[in-house]
């Protein structure tokens, strides 16, 4: 189960969905409606609840569950609620810590930006942070794809996710309890959730391994798709 990043859509997993190893099934849900379904103060619990309901609907008792960035935050929330549903974990370009006050301030500004100027302005602001120098200079198709993914969300979906991001709890105390095989991936140039955050995950999760992906920043599965998929395939083949 692959959970997508903010402010993207499940289409960000296209490179991995096109390379599903033999004998496996990948599921990439659209998380956006989970945040806009009712709660006036959306939280990671709403997103984790949506994923859990989807597992029920698909009659899957257990799965390898993970995600990239916000997808990782949702994974932590789901692990707190239902650790028995996991057989393994993927944590890509994510972190266990809650937001700092500075992050909170930046989130409030982003919320204001999306409500006044719309998703295109969010794309303008976020693209240089999400992608590496190499991607921005040389992989025009990835830049265009990420812009299109951001612009395909509506204001309410983006704003709901911002609220959930800024109110998420610290997951650091849960890490030592994760006794499952865990793959930690991070783009070498990720400045949103840098290598130090991935190292913390690897140090605190007992059965984890860390793979650093060169030439990629925060959206490592899109920026280094082959290396990301190879690491995932090796993980699935060796541990589970
Ligand atoms: C994401 O990629 O999901 C977000 O950048 C996460 C965050 O801003 O903390």
Q: How many whole angstroms from 95 Cα to the centroid of ligand 1? A: 9
Mutate to test the pocket of ligand 1, among 44, 47, 69 (most ligand atoms within 8 A of CB): 69
Share of the chain above pLDDT 70, in %: 99
pLDDT (tens digit per residue) in 190-215: 999 999 999 999 999 999 999 999 99
pLDDT (tens digit per residue) in 57-74: 999 999 999 999 999 999
User: What's 4's DSSP letter?
Assistant: P
Q: How many whole angstroms from 165 Cα to the centroid of ligand 1? A: 8
Q: Which residues contact 20 (CB under 8 A, 6 or more apart)?
A: 26
pTM, full prediction: 0.97
Q: Torsions phi, psi of 48, nearest 5?
A: -65, -40
pLDDT (tens digit per residue) in 76-102: 999 999 999 999 999 999 999 999 999
Write down the pLDDT at residue 212. 98
Q: Look at residue 233 and tell me whether its pLDDT is greater than 80.
A: yes
How confident is the model over 10-30, as a mean pLDDT? 97
The domain spans of the chain are 2-239
Contact 64/87 with Cβ under 8 angstroms?
Answer: yes
Is the domain defined by 2-239 classed in CATH 3.40.1190.10? no
CA separation for the pair 205, 196 (Å, rounded): 14
Mutate to test the pocket of ligand 1, among 193, 216, 222 (most ligand atoms within 8 A of CB): 193
Residue nearest to ligand 1 atom 4, measured at CA: 6
Mean pLDDT of the chain: 96
Q: Confidence class of residue 239 from pLDDT cuts 50, 70 and 90? A: low
CA separation for the pair 183, 203 (Å, rounded): 12
Contact 240/207 with Cβ under 8 angstroms?
Answer: no
Q: How many whole angstroms from 6 Cα to the centroid of ligand 1? A: 5
Ligand 1 pocket by C-beta < 6 Å: which residues?
Answer: 5-6, 69-70, 165, 192, 218
Residue nearest to ligand 1 atom 5, measured at CA: 6
Helix (H) or strand (E) holding 209: strand 208-213
Instruction: Classify residue 178 as exposed, middle or buried by CB count within 10 Å of its CB (0-12, 13-18, 19+).
Output: buried
Write down the pLDDT at residue 36. 82
* Residue 71 alpha carbon, nearest atom of ligand 1: 3
* Residue 219 alpha carbon, nearest atom of ligand 1: 2
| Angstrom distances, CA of residue 205 to CA of 4, 88, 100, 169, 182 | 22, 12, 22, 18, 8
């Amino acid at each position: 189960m692959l959970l997508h990043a903010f402010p993207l859509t499940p289409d960000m997993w296209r490179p991995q969905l096109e390379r599903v190893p033999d004998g496996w099934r990948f599921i990439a849900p659209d998380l956006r409606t989970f945040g806009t379904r009712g709660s006036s103060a959306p939280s990671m619990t709403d997103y984790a609840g949506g994923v859990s309901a989807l597992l029920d609907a698909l009659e899957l008792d257990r799965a390898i569950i993970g995600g990239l960035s916000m997808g990782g935050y949702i994974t932590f929330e789901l692990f707190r609620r239902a650790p028995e549903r996991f057989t393994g974990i993927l944590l890509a370009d994510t972190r266990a810590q809650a937001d700092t006050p500075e992050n909170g301030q930046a989130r409030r500004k982003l919320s204001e930006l999306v409500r006044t100027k719309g998703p295109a302005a969010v794309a303008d602001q976020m693209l240089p942070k999400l992608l590496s120098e190499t991607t921005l200079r040389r992989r025009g198709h990835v830049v265009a794809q990420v812009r299109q993914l951001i612009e395909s969300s509506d204001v309410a979906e983006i704003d709901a996710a911002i609220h959930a991001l800024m109110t998420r709890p610290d997951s650091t105390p849960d890490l030592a309890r994760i006794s499952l095989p865990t793959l930690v991936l991070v783009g070498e140039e990720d400045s949103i959730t840098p290598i130090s955050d991935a190292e913390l995950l690897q140090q605190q999760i007992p059965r984890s391994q860390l793979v650093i992906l060169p030439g990629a920043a925060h959206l490592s599965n899109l920026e280094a798709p082959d290396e990301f998929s190879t690491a995932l395939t090796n993980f699935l083949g060796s541990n589970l």
